[in-house]
Amino acid sequence: MEIDLRTVAIKPLRHTFDHIARRFGDKPASRYQEGTYDIQQTDIFHYRPMWEPELQLFDKRRTRIQMKDWYALKDPRQFYYGAWTIARARQQDAAESSFDMIEERGLADIVPEEIKQIALAVLVPLRHVEWGGNMGNSYISAYGYGTAVTQPCLYHAMDHLAVAQYLTRIGLVLEGPDALDSAKDAWMTGAMWQPMRQHVENVLVVQDWFEIFVAQNLVLEGLTYPLVYDYLDGDFSANGGTVISMMTRFMGEWSAETAKWVDAQIKVAAAESAENKALIGDWVKQYRPLVLAALAPIAQRAFGDQADTVLAEVTAQFNARCSKAGLTV
Amino acid sequence: MSNVFIAFQLNEDTRPIIEAVLADNPHAIANESPAMVKIDAEGELVIKRESIEELIGRDFDLQELQINLITISGHLDEDDDEFKLSWLN
């Protein structure tokens, strides 16, 4: 008996879900597309929310920003749950091995006292700022519109908790549990932190979710992260505090990555209409001086005489970044 | 002029790579077989890191190609940015 082997190519009748095919045509879609586009619930809202009966449960009017298609605010990193957890797990492994090495070899003991005090005074209380970032981004994912933007905001909110945990561990490694109590004290009563605390708490009660996005993700993070994880970190490394840089590695990497995502959102929203562009520009102009004022005493503690120069450089870089995203600021 | 070709397994990872290759090489022709795509091109075929990165939204190392690579034909010229197949005369 003779057996002929032959390959039969079976063409699938359709390559993806209908709602994805309507957007991109019937071809194989990426996981990101399938997990993102047109997932937002749009119809059949029987009940109005009792706390806000003039709006629907999911409503485009919860921000003054207007978009024809909210899915234009896509994530350049293409994070869906799987891709995001895989990326973060890899970074967590790297961070974990740094912390392990520092703890095993007692490397925290060789950090010069002055550097250590700056780290305890500046880095550790920042964990309370991170909590504000978590709240703001959770709010956006709850009240925002369109999975393309609400999904990465939830990831961003959880990443803020991760950063807060790393900052906590820095305190534990450098000084032990007392570091956290003194950081909480500094946050609640210390003069240096009150302007920042006031600003973070003011952003907590903003209603417009896109305004929170601009205030938190663009302005607050856009000014604070370069200041702390770029300039201050450079100072640490230059003065014998490389150990601290090993512990803040995630924050540096993460802020560079998320800045690309934030810029992409701002760019698309600002390019949509002149109104959006003006509105976002106004928000930047409103929040930038507030954040700079809140950062001033912190920069003073971190950089001493150099504080004004460093802040001016950070501001110039931030302004350049905003212009690149299409804003007039 | 002779053809060069490259064949990939067809899966979630290679779809953006194939898309990038076809966009960068308008003269290339993709032949789909079950679970495999063979891309033929006359003379030369260039795979660019940048185009793939744009599609997948993350950093890409051209060595990642090897994971799903089935076969190639042509002389290979590879650096960090490009993976180039051609017949050098």
User: Domain segments of chain B: what residues?
Assistant: 3-86
Mean pLDDT of the B62-86 span: 94
Whether A222 is in a domain gets the answer yes
pLDDT at residue B34 in the model: 83
The model's confidence at residue B56, banded by pLDDT at 50, 70 and 90, is: confident
ipTM > 0.90 for the complex: no
CB proximity list for A170: less than 8 A, separation 6 or greater: A119, A123, A124, A244, A247, A248
Determine the Cα–Cα distance for residues B34 and B32; give it in Å rounded to an integer. Answer: 7
pLDDT > 70? residue A252: yes
End-to-end CA gap in chain B: 10
At A137-183, the pLDDT tens digits run 999 999 999 999 999 999 999 999 999 999 999 999 999 999 999 99
Chain B residue numbers touching A31 (CB-CB < 8 A):
12
Q: Is residue A273 part of a domain?
A: yes
Q: Tell how many helices (H) and how many strands (E) occur in chain A.
A: 15, 0
Domain count, chain A: 1
- Nearest-CA distance B58 → chain A (Å): 6
Is pLDDT of A312 > 70? yes
pLDDT category of residue B89 using cuts at 50, 70 and 90: low
Superfamily per CATH, domain B3-86: Monooxygenase component MmoB/DmpM (3.90.56.10)
End-to-end CA distance of chain A: 81
Given CB atoms, is A77 within the 8 Å cutoff of chain B? yes
Nearest one of A221, A310, A298 to A258, comparing CA atoms:
A221
User: Does residue A37 sit within a domain?
Assistant: no
pLDDT at A9 over 80: no
Q: What proportion of chain A, given as a percentage, has pLDDT over 70?
A: 100
Q: What CATH number has the domain bearing residue A313? A: 1.10.620.20
Query: How many CB pairs below 8 Å do chains A and B form together?
Result: 21
pLDDT exceeds cutoff 80 at B1: no
Owning domain of residue A295: 77-324
* Within a domain: A27: no
> What tokens appear for A98 in the block?
């740094």
Of the residues A32, A78, A261, the best mutation for testing chain B's interface (the one with the most B CB atoms within 10 Å of its CB) is: A78
**Is the Cβ of B32 closer than 8 Å to some Cβ of chain A?**
yes
